[in-house]
Structure 1
Amino acid sequence: MIPAMPAASVSSSRTAPVAALRFGRVVSMGAVAVLILVGGVWASWSTAQHVMLTKGKERGTVEVTACGEDTCTGPFRPVSSGASARSRVVIDKSVAVRKAQTYDVIVKPGTDTVVRSGPAGVLFAWVPLGGALLLASVVVAGGLRLRRLAWGLGGLGIALLTAAFFAVQ
């Protein structure tokens, strides 16, 4: 190397493409992680809004009398003022619903569909977000190389799923 020539000019021409690729990886993986988390919130909110924002909604209990492949049915007994009794309401069949059991529920406005209420209902409504947190933690660890943040996201996802599992039992 010639003493009058700066050393940075040789190495900067090689690092520019590497820096551009690194920036592209961070932006694309960050976008994927955010998209996964937004999808988890979106999927959870369709049920969680009814469970968490109960003002003006019909609350009551349902005793599950019959279960099909995807749904269970039973009579609805109101406990809130303004709610009307129904001979048959529909609740999604899942690990959280068993035949011959009675559950506290909230009726989705304008339908005969109900969702579980209380702490078990809230936790169960946010299960898709728990899965999204776990998936996003893998993207954050591998794509963004932010291992501490990834462990935090994964831990939150596991905690949410575990809490929901024990709440619905």
Structure 2
Amino acid sequence: MRRNLAILLYGGVVALVLVAGVWSSWGTAQHVLLAKGRDHGTMTVSACGEDVCTGSYVPSGDSEPHARGVTIDRSVAAKKGERLPVVVKPGTDQVVRTGAAGVLHAWVPLGGALVLAALVIGGGLRMPRTAWATGLAGAALLTATFVAL
């Protein structure tokens, strides 16, 4: 009985961590994965602060121009003068990177959640093979994102 309660408790923690990772990732990933009908274009980074980079936006195709420029998270755009393919978040001047690098970057919170869940799976649930697989999947996602950006 006590073992079943522990499994239920640790299973709930794992589920909570993974759901939080997906929820946190989906906020950005939805704009990259469901980009049909959104404004696409290219951002040229002109300045970077601590949290965001700003720059000009050149729309592609039938996309709308943004006269005031656009902003992107600092972790995505590293250098001044860099040109990035982006999609605009509806109703804002914020953009997210598209392509493989954008997709990988959007799912970074899930990668961290997988690594964290692996510790609970291995230590709490006593499932070492599943823990290794979960941890390696998270590490692979984080590594692929680092290489792509």
TM-score by length of 1: 0.85
Q: Which has the larger radius of gyration?
A: 1
How many residue pairs get aligned? The number is 149
CA distance in 2, matches of 1:24, 1:134: 24
Alignment of 1:96-135 (within 5 A): 96-135=77-116
CA distance in 1, matches of 2:71, 2:15: 34
Report the Cα offset of residue 94 of structure 1: 1.0
Counterpart selection for 1:57 from 38, 46, 53: 38
Report the Cα offset of residue 101 of structure 1: 0.6
Partner of residue 164, structure 1: 145
CA RMSD of aligned residues (A): 1.1
Measured against aligned partners, the alpha-carbon deviations of 1:29-66 in whole angstroms (never above 9, x if no partner) come to 00000000000000100000001111100000111101
TM-score by length of 2: 0.96
Partner of residue 119, structure 2: 138
Amino acid at match of 2:33: M
Structure 2 contact 31–87 (Cα < 8 Å) conserved: yes
State the identity as a percent.
54
Partner of residue 27, structure 1: 8
Partner of residue 152, structure 1: 133
* 5+ residue gaps, structure 2: none
